[in-house]
Chains A and B, each alone.
Chain A
Amino acid sequence: MESEIQLTPSGRLKHFLSVSGLSRALLTEILDTAESFIEVGERNIRKVPLLRGKTVVNLFFEPSTRTRSTFELAAKRLSADVLNLDISTSATSKGESLSDMLENLEAMASDMFVVRHSQSGAAHFIAESVTPNVAIVNAGDGWHAHPTQAMLDMLTIRQHKGSFEGLKVAIVGDILHSRVARSQIRALNTLGVAEVRVIAPNTLLPNDVECLGVKRFTQMEDGLKDLDVIIMLRLQKERMQGGLLPSEQEYYRLYGLNQQKLAMAKPDAIVMHPGPINRGVEISSDVADGPQSVILNQVTNGIAIRMAVMSMAMSGQTETNTSRKEALE
């Protein structure tokens, strides 16, 4: 199963590929660890020596300035050496296979790969079949998962709401193509919220979306009632060209979040967005900049969560490699 390859026999994280299959206790441990890393960012010397001497390679097969820079910052705050690989100009475009390229990197004594790839399952493929002794952190694979984003969103929710119990959370937007949404839904359900809703037109919802453990709403007004947390997803331009939506204007009218619609949720509801925001398409400026928006908190939490996940995965991976060496002796 997906989750088995992520854990050591003693239940510690050695790869972070997906929220799927991880227990509530482990997810809570990630959140708690991240909390203790937030303070590091407030010191003069924003570093701790946990990953000193370790090499972290950022393998971004899909471009991304924001996510890559937060991973880079997180690794550096853990005192790791960071190598950034821009895959579009490197070996794979010359025909070298993905597995050959990665094995070469491993031979150069890399301890961790942070991988973003356009194909679902890429991080699993690497962890399972290519370099199982390198800790793999999934920075987003196709439509499948974006677990660090989901965890930082969970941290933000916990900071503002105290606990997950009894919460009603809705995710609004292109669920069909969203790895963030899939990871968020899994995390929310594992952490025990009361209800997860998805709000979108049928063209942007998978037919079987209820199998993920959510309630489907195609009318936004119905979905907003009684909500504690509203997560808005970014709408990509390609969706209009792909025949899934007629226009941005109609989307904004039906599914965009403005002050008027926000008032239908609970008065202390928080508004989140994994970014980058399309003002006037998913969300109005006054809501994005307003008092109920916690979008900027999400950014700080991003570094802390990534520090937590990277240090946990590195320690689990080291445990595995040490017992492997001992078994061989």
Chain B
Amino acid sequence: MRRKTVGYLFVLPILVLILVIFLYPLISTIRYSLYDIPFGVKQGPFVGLQNYRIIFAEPVFWQGLRNSVIWALGNLAVQLTIPFGIAIVLNHRLKGIDLVRAIVLIPWIVPAVVVAICARWLLLPTMGPINYYLLKTGIVARRVNFLGSLGLAMPTLIALNSWKFFPFGTLLILAALQTIPAQLYEAARVDGANPWQCFTRITFPLVGRIVWFIGFLAFVWNFNIFDLIWLITQGGPGNTTQTLPVLIYRTAFKTFRPGEASSIAVIIMIFLAAVGIIYFRLLSPKKEERIIAQ
């Protein structure tokens, strides 16, 4: 009994921490979403689901949701494929590979605000060096409006965000690759397997679970990203890059409707929880793959 109490005492600090920094804000957000907070932080009357009705009736919310899904999936596609390729290259024992592995980390270290400011300058159609070199090398015939064009702003943001994320994915996949015994490849080669077969039959199944896990992490992280989008486009041009977190910020801090902003936050939470359940229930790697991975 006493041992049990001591055990609980050990758990208590982290439990308090979780309650304070996670559960309390979560419950507050849900509570705020049920109140009409007409102005700033002053609490108004209880309105039930009125804020949700307002939000669901706003076309800008649906556009935000669509943008968020495009943003998260677009990033996911880039962030799973490119890091995989880079990790495979970095997994080879080559001269200077340790230095390259360290250099690869740089984008992860650079703060989002630095990425945003540099990107805005670099991508300026009139004065940015990227346009200058694209024109000079004949890759494009006229200046490209990366951040001001309705069709290009989102892909440009995805590229920038993925550039920042790729070291994380690369390192995780690289760590997974390094757990694959070299004998497996040797045996496969002896049996006549070509590199593609080695990749599809050995590499991919054995790192599949880590890729699967990164996939979920990347989806949730990307879905919730606010800083880079706000700092580069503020959701524009039009509302083409206005994802739900950007809409939450605008609603809460630009038009002072914390009740409506909270309801969007709750919707995101439910949406991501649903995605998580589906992902872990339906898209989980097969049992045998897990056994191999273990």
Genuine A/B complex: no
Residues of B within 8 A of A (CB): none
Residues of A within 8 A of B (CB): none
